[in-house]
Structure 1
Amino acid sequence: MTAMRRQLQGMVRKTLLRLMPAQTIDLSRLDKVPDSLGWPLKRDGFDPVPRLAETRGEHPVHHLTSLLGMNVWLVTGLEEGREVLMEPRAYSTDIRPYVGQRGAADGDIGGLGFTDPPDHTRLRKLITPEFTMHRLERIRPMVNRIVEQQLDEVAAKASGSEVVDLIPTFAFPVPFLVICELLGLPDHDREVFRHLGSARFDVTEGGYGSLGAISDSREFLKDATRRQRSDPGPGLIGQILREHGDEINDYDLAGLADGVFTGGMETSAGMLAMGTAVLLGDRHTWNRLRDDDSSVDPVVEELLRYLSVVQVAFPRFAKEDRTVGGRQVHKGDVVLVSVPGVNRDPVFGEAPDTFDPERPAHGHLAFGHGLHRCIGSELARMELRTAFPALVRRFPQMRLAEGDLGFRQSSLVYGVDRVPVVPGPESAAQ
């Protein structure tokens, strides 16, 4: 009887899914994310809340909640996370059918992260060449210049005040200016652009607030694209227009530019801010960065694993019934891969909740995995590998000042509001 009951339940479920109009599931109607869905976004300082590890210990694939008629699964195991992220044929990341008119009718949601093949394949081919190591080497002098420029600002602030906040002087402007120059945004657009960043990742106001911020960003970039179509600028937008102008419309190009913005600004700012705070609490590693060039890469990889600023991978909507980690995921279910969860998996060795640059951290999922792996991962690494050693060598005696870092809550991209430091004297080598 039990087997028959399960079979009947499955048949009823599949029938309802076929009959249910996609637009009846509207995530933008959520004016507040319920705790049953939002608790994996919470943190305890640099660490995920203990509940995340407890959930992984019970099962790496956990039924998180049921929401608006959909079952939501949380994946916290590394192997299971890779399996989900590597299966584009079994899952969709196209969220438009689930966001009502805010996304589906107005076309506000798109870009690589929310696009399935074949459109994803076509668009990614247009932008991938711009993020190869060969192309990125051309902008290394620009990254070095921006880092040194911001260290000059830290030094200038320190001359007038003993305590300097590294967020507005260093952690935010470095990736922000790199992205603006990379995209080719003129100076008069940058102040508007500056205000469109963190709001898109804040889910305290539910789906509508976050989707509205995405919409504003996309509209801004569509306007920038339209202006450059007749007079392409020197940056990424202009380069794609010169090489592929007839192959891509303003909407798609704005989506690509928005993806660069999304993946390259708030995430790198969070890494620079929190990474500096972690390093200031580990003087041995701080001094190694000053004295040993070979230490930079493993330190950066471990910081990426340990901090996991992107809290959840793009939601996967199951296109078919699947078994994941021994759990039955049905067509229409939502699967969320917790990046802090998978990156704290015990497979990374002893004490995965501690920062240890000696650990072999390669294989982490800080940049995602598979089809939707972050296209700007090497740019992010370049920024971090440049900025951390430059900061250490410029201010070898820097220390954290008293005061709360202001860890953010309920944000898809984790970060802090301030990093108060006492820079100390500049190195005599400068």
Structure 2
Amino acid sequence: MTETIPALPELPLSRTTLFDPPDALRPLQGNERVTRFSYPDGHLGWLVTGYSEARTVLADPRFSARRELQHFPIRHPMVPTEPTPAAPGSFPEMDPPDHTRYRKLLTGQFTARKMSLLAPRVEEIVTHYLDEMEKAGPSVDLLQAFAMPVPSLIICELLGVPYEERAQFQTRSAVMVNMTSTPEETAAAFRGLHQFVHELVLAKRAAPTPDLLGELAAGDELTDEELTTIGLNLLFAGHGLTANMLALGAFALIDAPEQLAALHAEPKLIDSAVEELLRYLTIVHVGPTRTALADVELGDQVVRAGETVTLSLPAANRDPARYDQPDTLDITRGSRGHLALGHGLHQCLGQELARMQMRIAYPALFERFPDIRLAVPRDQIPMRDQMAFYGVLALPVAWG
């Protein structure tokens, strides 16, 4: 019976190697691809580390994303003691038809065509911050000088957030995703961000602007509360994911000079390189979680109705049953189909925006500074393994 399987007592997050999943997940990439997991609230659920099993969970409607059904895999001040329904507008934590209604309103804002129209502006922003780096050099913190401000400015422009307000957004969002923040710090940061976006929504109701929030505010499909929540979700995801990918991806390429040389030699590899970096790094290392609405056979186990399943995307994207030599960074690899941006109905809404920024930013950075290198030994780079997104806390680089 499944109850006799030893339960993993906690979700492994700490890493001994910079770019690889936690060592404790390694034994679970073989036969134990679906293993018992004991949640902090006492719930006995499952941890999924296999690629095919994770993909199944993300695509199967028998696994619900509804917040009130979930058990969170780590302790965090933003997680209530008792699961509660998602806030109005928080569509990633909903199932159809509620999820469908919100997603339909937003999908048109993130099409490949709209992203291509935004590309020239992204190039301008990238060039500006590279110019500023060059002036400040020959050594900077790449995270603060480039990786953070580029996507922050882009998502703020896309949503219609005033440029001068982005600093407070960055500061408060950093507190919210840090798993070591106190409950008081997290609550204060959330209240500040919520008030900021709510006031922005009210301003756009009064005087609609030609941006995402402005266009949504001009209609009557969404309440102020719904639009505020959507704005918060998009700001947080659009900034956090790409900022960490830009910094960690640059670190990985600097650390693998043969891969960087291959990209220099064949610029058309950039699309493949972006997909491989997404797979290889898989910075979302806490969840997602789903709860079974019925008994479901998953791998060699049976997940019973009501049991929560947590996916380890870093482990799934390193599954040797899916990828040959999965622990090797290979920008020529066909990495499409990875799960770094999710799969199924809840696949990342802004995935084309994230990809487009990386496709522009990486080549521009390494063309401007072809001899860029770490300014400190690699083992002295501080990593953010206690946050929702894995990445670096700082990335000192030098050139010239």
Normalised by the size of structure 2, how large is the TM-score? 0.89
The residue type equivalent to 1:111 in the other structure is S
Question: Counterparts of 2:171 and 2:181 in 1: how far apart (Å)?
Answer: 17
Greater CA drift, 295-304 or 325-334? 325-334
Offset at 1:185? Answer: 0.6
1:96–1:109 Cα contact (<8 Å) kept: no
The answer for the alignment partner of 1:218 in structure 2 is 194
| Structure 1 range deviating more: 121-130 or 184-193 | 184-193
Per-residue deviation, 1:293: 2.3
- The correspondence for 1:167, drawn from 143, 155, 162, is 143
Contact 2:13 2:385 in 1 (8 A): no
Q: Say whether residues 1:141 and 2:120 are aligned partners.
A: yes
Pairing of 1:391-430 with structure 2 (within 5 A): 391-403=365-377, 404-424=380-400
Structure 2 residue identity aligned to 1:377: Q
Q: Is the 8 A contact 1:299 1:357 kept in 2?
A: yes
The 8 Å contact of residues 175 and 181 in structure 2, kept in 1 or not, is answered as: no
State the alpha-carbon separation in 2 of the partners of residues 223 and 121 from structure 1.
26
**8 Å contact 1:313–1:368 — kept in the other structure?**
no
Which of 240, 262, 275 aligns to 2:216? It is: 240
Counterpart of 1:342 in structure 2 is: 316
Counterpart Cα distance in 1 of 2:81 and 2:251: 42
Question: CA 1:66–1:393 in 2, change beyond 3 Å: closer, same or farther?
Answer: closer
**Mean alpha-carbon deviation: is it higher for 403-412 or for 93-102?**
93-102
Assess if the C-alpha contact under 8 Å between 1:367 and 1:373 holds in 2. Answer: yes
Task: Choose the corresponding residue for 2:110, options 117, 126, 131.
Answer: 131
CA separation of 1:90 and 1:208: change in aligned 2, threshold 3 A: farther
> Counterpart in 1 of 2:25?
52
Cα contact 2:89–2:227 (8 A) shared by 1: no
Q: Measure how far apart 1:252 and its partner are.
A: 1.5
CA distance in 2, matches of 1:135, 1:71: 44
8 Å CA contact 1:309–1:413 kept in 2: the answer is: yes
| 1:67-146 mapped onto 2 (5 Å cutoff) | 67-95=40-68, 99-100=79-80, 104=84, 111-146=90-125
> Which of structures 1 and 2 has the bigger CA Rg?
1
Q: Hey, what does 1:383 align to over in structure 2?
A: 357
Alignment of 1:351-370 (within 5 A): 351-370=325-344
Whole-Å separation in 1 of the counterparts to 2:251 and 2:124: 23
- Paired with 1:117 and 1:55, the residues of 2 have a C-alpha distance of 32
Superposed CA deviations along residues 123-170 of structure 1, whole A, max 9, x for unmatched, are: 000110010011112211110011001101110111xxx321101110
Deviates more, 1:279-288 or 1:335-344: 279-288
In structure 2, what is the Cα distance between the partners aligned to 1:102 and 1:108? Answer: 15
Distance 1:45 1:374, change over 3 A: same
- For 1:334, give the aligned amino acid: T
SS in 2 for 1:37: coil
Distance 1:314 1:112, change over 3 A: farther
Paired with 2:81 and 2:258, the residues of 1 have a C-alpha distance of 53
**Residue 49 of structure 1: CA displacement?**
1.6
Structure ranking higher in helix proportion: 1
Deviation of 1:267 after TM superposition, in Å, equals 1.1
Distance 1:229 1:218 in 2: 16
| SS of residue matched to 1:74 | strand
User: Does the CA-based 8 Å contact 2:70-2:290 persist in structure 1?
Assistant: no
CA distance in 2, matches of 1:109, 1:184: 21
Does the 8 Å CA contact 1:65/1:71 hold for their aligned counterparts?
yes
Flag structure 1 segments of 5+ consecutive residues without an equivalent. 7-34, 425-430
Q: In the aligned structure 1, how far is the partner of 2:10 from the partner of 2:361?
A: 35
**Change in 2 beyond 3 A, CA 1:316/1:215:** farther
Aligned partner of 1:25 in structure 2 is: none
Q: How many Å apart are 1:400 and its aligned residue?
A: 1.4
**Distance change in 2, residues 1:277/1:69 (3 Å):** closer
Within-5 A mapping of 1:266-305: 266-305=240-279
> How many Å separate the matches in 2 of 1:357 and 1:108?
40
Q: What code does the residue aligned with 1:116 have?
A: D
Alignment TM-score, normalising by the size of structure 1: 0.83
* In structure 2, distance between residues paired with 1:247 and 1:213: 28
State how far apart, in whole Å, the 2-side matches of 1:320 and 1:206 are. 37
Pair 1:308–1:207, CA change in 2 (3 A): farther
SS of aligned partner of 2:310:
strand
SS at 1:225's partner residue? helix
Q: Deviations over 1:104-136 (max 9, x none)?
A: 49x758522112221110000011001001111
Letter in 2 for 1:294: K
- 2:156 maps to 1:180: yes
Cα deviations by residue, 1:307-357 (Å, 9 ceiling, x for unpaired): 001113432122222221121222222111111010000034332112111
Partner of 1:13: none
In 1, distance between residues paired with 2:61 and 2:185?
28
Cα distance per residue 1:207-249 (max 9 Å; x no partner): 886676555433432221122111122321002223xx21111
> For 2:136, what is the secondary structure of its paired residue?
helix
Equivalences for residues 171-210 of structure 1 within 5 A: 171-205=147-181
What do residues 167-219 of structure 1 show as CA deviations (whole Å, max 9, x unaligned)? 11101111111111111111342222121222232223588866765554334
**In 1, Cα distance between the equivalents of 2:170 and 2:364?**
24
Moved more, 198-207 or 176-185: 198-207
Give the 3-state SS of the residue equivalent to 1:47 in structure 2: coil
Query: What is the Cα-based RMSD across aligned positions, in Å?
Result: 2.7
Q: What is the rounded CA distance, in whole Å, between the counterparts of 2:106 and 2:57 in structure 1?
A: 24
**Corresponding residue for 1:229?**
205
Change (3 A) 1:76 1:272: same
Same amino acid, percent of matched pairs:
37
